Structure 1
Amino acid sequence: MRTFTFIMFLCLLCSWNGYAAREKGEIMLFPKSERAVAKSEKKYLEFYRNLNKGVLMYEVKFEEKKQWIERPASEMGKLGERSRKAGNGKIEVLKKVRVKTRGKKVVLVGFKKPLATGEIIKVTVKKIGVYERTERGDGDTWAVYQYEE
């Protein structure tokens, strides 16, 4: 019981002094003239985690590829479907598959809906600046997008 109380005390202490904050950084906005002419675009974004200034997300792209998928030979392929024998009573069928690829990290500002880790959303956004991390000196920057309804 003492150990549990001590751990809870440390968690409380860390939250008071700000040690538990995930990322520290600044949003550097583009000039107003540049933000005014920025075009809106639709993007698929995958939730990663919350930041002090917004939401950290991954850009996601979907593409369709043709792949050989293995299945039991008892399941016949549809008419016109290409197939080949794979052995052990199985066949391979050539099908179109939607493949998700994860892109670079971005920060989304102005989005209020709670999201679960890994949830993918399609949103209309406008690029407004750059997020620079200050806690590490690695020079890592992320694009900042403003959420538009």
Structure 2
Amino acid sequence: MRIAWGFLSGLVFGLGLVLSGMADPAKVLNFLDLTGRWDPSLAFVMGGATLTAFIGYRLVWRRSAPVLEARFDLPTNSRIDRPLVLGAALFGIGWGIGGFCPGPAWTALPLLAPGTLVFLPAMLAGLWLGTRIKSLDALMTEGATL
């Protein structure tokens, strides 16, 4: 049942991305271009998402546990550290250059646009490389403490 709900949630999310224009990198890049052909329509999409999340969180936090789990799975780390800042910077740079973030890129894949076909493999390579760097960093840190 959990897989079905996850699939349905992803389907609704993807449909929202397509309907809002977030799967079109040109629309996203026009939103980011404040001095050129600025398109403010995505600000309304983000505002709607913020309002929906605000209301949703207020409703969910009234529950003692999620519907499909025994407890809420919340992050425990609240530190702003180097990996967080570097990851956020890389995400923003990639979004600004390509006009995609991961969700809309996967949503746009069936359109087979050349930009998507370049962005997704590059994103996956970056994820793989980041995992390898993190593993090496952990090994070096572990070796330093021995």
**Larger strand fraction of residues:** 1
Larger Rg over CA atoms: 1
Q: Higher helix proportion, which one?
A: 2
State TM-score, norm by structure 1: 0.18
TM-score, normalised on structure 2?
A: 0.18
